[in-house]
């Protein structure tokens, strides 16, 4: 995928001006990928489940090893979930306490008005994600994530989207973005964490949650992104750069005609 950005994307480092050449980006010609935890939700739900329902502190060592890059997320999740004991009703009660970003619904509607069906790519579990979305009145979104089965009060993970090349990820988001079904369009990526770094690097426009590890790592490596605090920032961005009343307007045409 050609390295590419639009004029409105703020560089995190000063770069030679030829690196800032603006190209047009029509929302209609984009796939839009969302991370889930701490991107659509206000906090990391999976971390919350692990902290709430683990019967020992084994998960801490897995977390530390993962943060240091000693193990991949698949090995980390496998190990962490072994310490969880939770009844289905308890888990559902917990998931019902999780709110989603209040702007997600209107951002989704805006994207759909432009013919974009967004895709959630997550290293959490599709059953958890769908439960939270449905409880918050959101349906019909494609979710690529790991899967979870309950055996009594134990959680058993499986990893149908583990990468063929990548041995680190539970769900290799990078390989998902490279799938044939997502070819031929620009990629817009919205995320916050370390598992978003690889897919963000192969995307054309990246929104990175301000102050989180995705933004920090892009900053350190000279990558570009549009920082956001919550999804209302992204809604406003698309609202401005798409001119929602005219679906044919290009994203980079930021100057509006003067009103008279």
Residue 48: partners with Cβ closer than 8 Å, 6 or more residues away: 94, 98
In terms of CB distance, is 201 or 249 closer to Zn ion? 201
* C-beta of 138 vs 166, nearer to Zn ion: 166
Estimate to the nearest angstrom the gap between the alpha carbon of 131 and the chain centroid. 17
Strand order of the β-sheet with 119-125 is: 154-158, 142-151, 119-125, 30-34, 186-191, 205-209, 226-228
Give the C-alpha separation, 6 to 29, whole Å.
Answer: 14
| The pair of three-digit structure tokens given for residue 251, joined into one six-digit string | 């994203």
Q: Is 101 in the site for Mg ion (CB under 5 A)?
A: no
Footprint on residues 95-134 left by Zn ion (CB under 5 A): none
Minimum separation from the CB atom of position 190 to Mg ion (A): 10
CA–CA dist 205, 183 (Å, integer): 15
Does residue 193 belong to the site contacting Mg ion (CB under 5 A)? yes
Q: What's the closest the beta carbon of residue 189 comes to Zn ion, in angstroms? A: 14
Interface region with Mg ion, contact rule CB under 5 A, candidates 72-80, 159-167, 190-198, 217-225: 190-198
Subset of residues 171 to 230 that bind Zn ion, contact rule: CB under 5 A: 172
Residues 234, 228: contact at Cβ < 8 Å? yes
Q: Is 37 among the residues that bind Mg ion (CB under 5 A)?
A: yes
- Residue 169 binding partner per list Mg ion, Zn ion, none, with a CB distance cut-off of 5 to 8 Å that depends on partner kind: Zn ion
Cα–Cα separations (whole angstroms), residue 95 to 44, 85, 90, 129: 12, 15, 9, 9
Using CB under 5 A as the binding rule, whether residue 169 contacts Zn ion is answered as: yes
Residue 141, CB-side half-sphere exposure with 13 Å CA sphere: 34
Residue 27's binding partner among Mg ion, Zn ion, none (Cβ under 5 to 8 angstroms by kind) is: none
Q: Does 204 engage in binding with Mg ion (CB under 5 A)?
A: no
Considering the rule CB under 5 A, would residue 163 count as an interface residue with Zn ion? yes
Specify the DSSP element, H or E, that contains 237.
helix 231-242
Contact range with Mg ion by CB under 5 A, out of 12-20, 35-43, 55-63, 173-181: 35-43
State yes or no: residue 166 binds Zn ion (CB under 5 A). Answer: yes
Chain residues binding Mg ion by CB under 5 A are 35, 37-38, 192-193
Residues that bind Zn ion (CB under 5 A): 163, 166, 169, 172
């Amino acid at each position: 995928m050609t390295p590419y950005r639009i004029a409105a994307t703020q560089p995190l480092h000063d770069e030679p001006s030829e690196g800032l050449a603006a190209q047009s980006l029509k929302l209609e010609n984009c796939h839009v990928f969302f991370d889930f935890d701490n991107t659509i939700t206000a906090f990391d739900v999976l971390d919350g489940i692990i902290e709430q329902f683990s019967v020992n502190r084994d998960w801490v060592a897995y977390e530390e090893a993962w943060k240091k890059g000693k193990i991949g997320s698949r090995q980390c999740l496998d190990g962490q979930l072994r310490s969880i004991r939770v009844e289905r009703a308890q888990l559902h009660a917990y998931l019902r306490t999780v709110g989603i970003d209040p702007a997600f619904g209107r951002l989704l509607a805006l994207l759909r008005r432009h013919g974009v069906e967004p895709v959630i790519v997550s290293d959490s579990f599709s059953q958890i994600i769908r439960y939270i979305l449905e409880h918050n009145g959101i349906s019909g979104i494609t979710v690529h994530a790991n899967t979870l089965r309950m055996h009594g009060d134990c959680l058993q993970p499986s990893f149908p989207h583990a990468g063929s090349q990548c041995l680190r990820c539970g769900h290799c988001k990078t390989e998902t973005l490279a799938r044939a079904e997502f070819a031929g369009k620009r990629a817009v990526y919205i995320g916050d964490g370390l598992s978003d770094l690889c897919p963000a690097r192969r995307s054309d426009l990246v929104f990175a949650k301000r102050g989180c590890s995705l933004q920090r790592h892009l900053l350190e490596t000279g990558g570009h992104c549009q920082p956001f605090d919550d999804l209302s920032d992204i809604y406003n961005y698309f609202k401005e750069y798409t001119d929602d009343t005219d679906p044919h307007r290009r994203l980079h045409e930021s100057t509006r005609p003067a009103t008279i």
